[in-house]
Structure 1
Amino acid sequence: MCRKKGRVILIGAGPGDKGLITVKGLEYLKQADIVVYDRLVSKDILSLSPEKAEFINVGKVMNHHNIPQPEINKILLNKALEGKTVVRLKGGDPFVFGRGGEELELLSENNIEYEVVPGITSAVSALAYAGIPVTHRDFASSIHFVTGHAKDGLVENIDFKALAASKGTILFYMGVSTLSQLINGLLMAGIDKNTPCAAVENGTRYNMRTLVSTVENMVSDAEKFQLRSPAVIAVGKVCSLGDKFAWYTKSKIFSKQIIVTRPIVSNNILTDRLKSAGAEVIDYPCIKINEIENNSSLLSLIGNLDKYNMLVFASKNSAAYFFKSLMDNEKDSRALSHLLIGALGKSTYDELKKYGICADIVPAEYTFDAFALSFKKADIKGMIAVLEAENDKRLSSKLNDYGFNVTSFNAYNIEYLPLDYTKSVQEYINNGVVAAFTSSAAVHGFVHGSKIEDLSKIKAVCIGKMTYETALNYKMQAYISEKPTIDSLIEKLKEME
């Protein structure tokens, strides 16, 4: 039986910021069985791929091709012949010095279905982040894309006279190692030595650097600057606008190291927002929420709901696991009709609404004490069942302290995870990193997972009073956002030195 052929999709991943991959490119990436990617494709973009996908790194470093181009072409063909959906993920645009055309040759010869999704080319986007428009009515009406790639140490087939006479913006790709040849070629061709020139290194990323100079001084300035790849080099009058229009590197968060803690399965809006503002985010999924197999504690509660006057949910996870178990036992929200319902925090309240439950008691302030005092105010009597983590009994303990008749039930288990980075947490702390916490559980996860003994050097920026107090209890240098929102937390992070 003949195996059905797969297909190959060439996708331009853009310059690095995952927000700059196209919508269509992202849709196709999520369908990939195989992802064949280059060195300049960021981890953030790779993380958008399906978990089941096979990843093949064919990245090239200057003067060293780990996998030769003909071999890359064969990989695409062979994987497609296996019936796979193959995504060829390339930095920038696949048809702008990306050798995308070469990779289609073999596919076309073998009647493999393929598609090309253009990407934002790195030169234009890097300059945009540096505040340099590649065209401007007063300065340039043409753009010239030129490869600075060398063969046997020499740049090839560049018509420097035409470039020098164009009066437009000249964009050199892959030109760091051949910079002196490129600049000398333009000078020999008669370009004005005072023509503005710029280089943007690691464009759109947290470690982006911009050098603005002139053609005459560019080589010596680049040496002092220690210019490194990847970088785009621009020549033209528009480069003079860089100092005026630069915006990305002026962000108060740009290049600031921030550890963002979170549960392992959550989508982190905070991480995405900070990276978009230019921060170097150390994403730390420090908590894993685990279902308890054969949860006798939950089964006991579900079988004895009629004994209780009130049911309290300590978190949205406790609500999710309770209702899963309730429905697994052929029951639904009607089984709670006789109970008062308490919810700690807005996210818990919102989770309960998914099951048709509007909690009777939700504290205005997200703290255990505020919750207990709201019980006092409501004159709660009788037996109270509290659903919480198996290894976090703080809520039931606090309610007991206030004199309520409380029984704790295990809804789930919290696992604390180590930081999976090349540097240890202590190294980041020594460098003055700030840690952002959006929940009390995240503070506990950070402490248990990182295993740092002296927590007094940690600058902890927190959402909510309970998170703040938890950080203080661990002797951290704790700061609290003005409001319990992501926007307010980011504003507080901007204030941190």
Structure 2
Amino acid sequence: MSTVYLVGAGPGDPKLLTRRAYELITTAEIIVYDALVSPRIIELIPPTTRLYNVGKRYGAHSMKQPEINALLVELASEDVKKIVRLKGGDPFVFAHGGEEMQVLREAGIRYEIVPGITAGLAAPAYFDIPVTHRAVSRSFTCLTAHSESGELPDFDWTALAKLGGTLIFYMGVRQIASISQALIEAGCDASTPAALVSRGTTPQQTLLARTLGEFTDAEEDFTAYTPALFVIGEVIRLNEGSTSRPLTGKKIIVTRARHQASSLQEALEAEGAEALLLPTIELSTNQEVATEVSSCLRELYRYGWIFFTSPNAVEFFFAALREAGLDSRALAPCRIASLGPMTSASLLSRGIQPDFMPSAYHAKAFAAEFIQHSSKCEAKPILLPASALAHDDLPRLLEEAGYPCHRLPLYTNNPIHYEQEELRATLSSADYLTACSSSAVHHLVELLEAYQLTELLHELPIAVLGEQTAEAVRSYGIEPQLIAPQATITALVDSLIESLR
């Protein structure tokens, strides 16, 4: 028997999903979702899930509420177990969840309510605005400024003006002047603090703080702030005009391969930035050397060391091991070297503790310190799993010192195509561009050269992970604005915060 889950997706930040909500949206067979569900939450849904976008926005309804009700009943008649009705915020706060519950109940369909964090509480909090405060506000009132007629709801404005505390209006962007005027006429002081809180808890969040009287201009258009809350009360004075997240309002380009981008994207968004995904490469197994790889992996005893120079090399190496029917025990005859903490972390996640890691994370230091660390009497060659486009610096330096190397090109770096205007718009709007590998830099420059847009790269500050990536940027006559002091995502984000203070 099907169960329909009425699930609150929260105000936008994926980290504010409840544990139950995350569990359901990642395991449901069908999801019916609203326009206010954050795109970052939609990204969490598995590609095999059947999706229905029934989002309603002012003047652009994709489905009317009775049609949504009927759809839920129809889907529940199918041979599926989990149907999620996903709503922004909480399903029972101005979200028709109660109506949908009644329809399901009358149709004899099993349902479960999964509350979510409502925007009225969460969005102000992201701007250091508590909706209650013992010394300022002992109550809060949530209202909807939307009505079927499009007019201002017929509230008892005098009662609201006398209520005190904090007033929070949902769906009121087109009624800001009318709300402000009605409250002032009912007795509210025109100097009462008020604020539009737009897209709260997301990287695009903004706060427009004024007095109530300054919001009474009926000619002013606030639709660009949609979706937004209109918050009125003394608690707004507790906001200092900015959030404690230091990268709020900054747009930062992430050029990592899409399957890797999430760690940097999440780290940037945790500090308030808007991460603009512009992966320049996608990685795939190098099928041209499949036979060589399989043979090599079955004869690892021939090698004294395996050098891993990137997390990608680790990932594709272990994928190849699985494909060959092997596991980490096959590495027992070899010692393991790792270039940098991110590569070491990738090895550790697979139960492998590196035997050697240089103090500086580039080829020259790797080779020099390894030569000093090891003994030339080690006759077995070194295996270097890498990209087909990897630089020859490391094997060349090792072989010059008498250490034979076998480079194994496990994967290929394939460029991603973008339209000219898409590239121009992304680079022109950003505050910073990040690059975590030299291949990402080279592929980006190739794209820009094809459209004669390389001047955009010269105008944009660039932050890089590691000296090797910095050298790739310098090869085009550009000096990186910053180089992370350690080759880690945390160090890169911390450097950006310091640079943008």
TM-score under structure 1 length normalisation? 0.87
Partner Cα separation in structure 2 for residue 24 and residue 449 of structure 1: 43
**Residue 366 in structure 1 maps to residue 361 in structure 2:** yes
Bigger CA drift: 254-263 or 217-226?
217-226
How far the C-alpha of 1:69 sits from its partner, in A, is 0.6
Distance 1:165 1:8, change over 3 A: same
| Distance change in 2, residues 1:446/1:7 (3 Å) | farther
Is the partner of 1:392 in helix, strand or coil?
Answer: coil
Distance 1:492 1:319, change over 3 A: closer
Evaluate the alpha carbon distance shift between residue 71 and residue 328 of structure 1 in structure 2; reply closer, same or farther with a 3 A threshold.
closer
Matched residue, 2:185: 188
Is the contact between residue 195 and residue 237 of structure 1 (CA under 8 Å) also seen in structure 2?
yes
Q: Distance in 2 between matches of 1:61 and 1:334?
A: 56
- Structure 1: tracts of 5 or more residues without a match: none
Shift of 1:295: 0.8
Residue 312 of structure 1: aligned partner: 307
2-structure distance, mates of 1:185, 1:158:
10
Among 220, 239, 258, the alignment partner of 2:252 is 258
Cα distance in 2 for residues equivalent to 1:129 and 1:355: 37
| Structure 2 residue aligned with 1:35 | 31
Gaps of 5+ in 2: none
Q: Secondary structure at the match of 1:203?
A: coil
Q: Deviations over 1:228-248 (max 9, x none)?
A: 321111222323333x4x442
Structure 1 partner of 2:469: 467
Residue 263 of structure 1, CA deviation: 2.9
Partner of 2:489: 486
After superposition, give the CA deviation of every residue in 1:415-458 in whole Å (9 maximum; x if it has no partner): 333459x9623333233541122344443454456666624344
Pair 1:298 & 2:288 matched: no
Distance in 1 separating the partners of 2:183 and 2:485? 55
Q: Partner residue of 1:410?
A: 409
What are the equivalent positions in structure 2 for 1:305-384 lying under 5 Å apart? 305=300, 308-323=303-318, 325=320, 339-352=334-347, 358-377=353-372, 378-380=374-376, 382=379, 383-384=381-382
Report how many residues are paired: 489
| 1:46 counterpart letter in structure 2 | I
Q: In the aligned structure 2, how far is the partner of 1:18 from the partner of 1:354?
A: 24
Instruction: Tell me, in whole angstroms, the C-alpha distance in 1 between the residues paired with 2:215 and 2:311.
Output: 57
Secondary structure, counterpart of 1:138 in structure 2: coil
- Which amino acid in structure 2 is aligned with residue 193 of structure 1? A
Indicate how the Cα distance of structure 1 residues 402 and 467 shifts in structure 2: closer, same or farther if over 3 A, else same: farther
SS at match of 1:232: strand
Structure 2 CA distance for aligned equivalents of residues 251 and 324 of structure 1: 38
Match of 1:207 in 2: 204
Match of 2:262 in 1: 268
What is residue 389 of structure 1 aligned with on the other side?
A: 387
Change (3 A) 1:191 1:70: same
Q: CA deviation at 1:22?
A: 1.6
Give the direction of change, closer, same or farther, for the CA distance of 1:481–1:95 in structure 2 (3 Å limit).
same
1:291·1:412 contact (CA, 8 Å) conserved in 2?
yes
1:215-264 CA distance string (max 9 Å, x none): 3332229928776321111222323333x4x442x644211110113233
Structure 1 residue aligned with 2:429, among 428, 431, 441? Answer: 431
Q: Which residue of 2 aligns with 1:112?
A: 109
Q: Is 2:286–2:411's contact at 8 Å kept on the other side of the alignment?
A: yes
Relative distance call for 1:398 and 1:444 in structure 2 (3 A) is farther
Q: How many Å separate the matches in 2 of 1:332 and 1:189?
A: 74
1:211/1:225 contact within 8 Å kept: no
1:393 and 1:57 map into 2 onto residues whose CA distance is 46
Residue 171 of structure 2 corresponds to which residue in structure 1?
174
Contact 1:418 1:450 in 2 (8 A): no
> d(CA) in 2 for partners of 1:333 and 1:110?
54
Quick check: 436-445 or 17-26, which moved more? 436-445
What residue in structure 2 maps to residue 7 of structure 1?
A: 3
Residues 438 and 321 of structure 1: is their aligned pair in 2 closer, same or farther, counting only changes over 3 Å?
closer
Q: In the aligned structure 2, how far is the partner of 1:235 from the partner of 1:101?
A: 27
Q: Is the 8 A contact 1:429 1:457 kept in 2?
A: no
User: What secondary structure sits across from 1:467 in the alignment?
Assistant: helix
Instruction: Note the alpha carbon deviations across 1:366-415, whole angstroms, 9 max, x for none.
Output: 11112222343234354433322233253434544556433322323333
Contact 1:435 1:458 in 2 (8 A): yes
Equivalent residue, structure 2, for 1:127: 124
Deviations, residues 16-53 of structure 1 (Å, cap 9, x unaligned) = 12222222211111112222111121111111112211
The answer to whether the 8 Å contact 2:247/2:497 transfers is: yes
For 1:332 and 1:92, locate their aligned partners in 2 and report how far apart those are by CA, in whole Å.
44
Q: State whether residues 196 and 230 of structure 2, in contact with CA within 8 Å, keep that contact through their aligned partners in structure 1.
A: yes
The residue number in structure 2 matching 1:61 is 57
